[in-house]
Amino acid sequence: MSSGKRRFVPSPAMVVAMVALIAALAGSAVALKGTNSVKTNDIKNSAVTKSKIANQALTGGKIAKDAVTGGKVANGSITAPDLDVFRDAFDPAVVSTASAPAVDLGGPSVTVTVPEGGLVGIYARVEALATGGGGNGAAQVHLAEPTFLPESPLIMSYPTNNPVAARYTAPGTADFDGVPSPTRGGMLTLAPPAGTYTFSLRYSQAGGATASFQNRRIWAGIIN
Span 164-200, pLDDT tens digits:
999 999 987 666 788 888 878 899 999 999 999 999 9
Tell me, yes or no, whether 150 and 39 share the same domain: no
Span 30-68, pLDDT tens digits:
566 666 677 777 777 777 777 778 777 777 667 777 677
What confidence category does residue 6 fall into, taking pLDDT thresholds of 50, 70 and 90? Answer: low
- Tell me if 61 is assigned to some domain: yes
What is the C-alpha separation between 96 and 103, in angstroms, rounded? 10
- Tell me if 24 is assigned to some domain: yes
What is the C-alpha separation between 14 and 23, in angstroms, rounded? 14
pLDDT value of residue 14? 75
Residue 79 clears pLDDT 70, i.e. is over it = no
Query: Which amino acid is present at 151?
Result: E
pLDDT value of residue 20? 72
Burial class (CB in 10 A: 0-12, 13-18, 19+), 139: buried
Are 121 and 113 in contact by the 8 Å Cβ rule? The answer is: no
Residue 27 clears pLDDT 60, i.e. is over it = no
Tell me, yes or no, whether 158 and 95 share the same domain: yes
| Enclosing domain of residue 212 | 86-222
Tell me, yes or no, whether 25 and 93 share the same domain: no
Span 84-124, pLDDT tens digits:
578 999 999 999 999 999 999 999 999 999 999 999 999 99
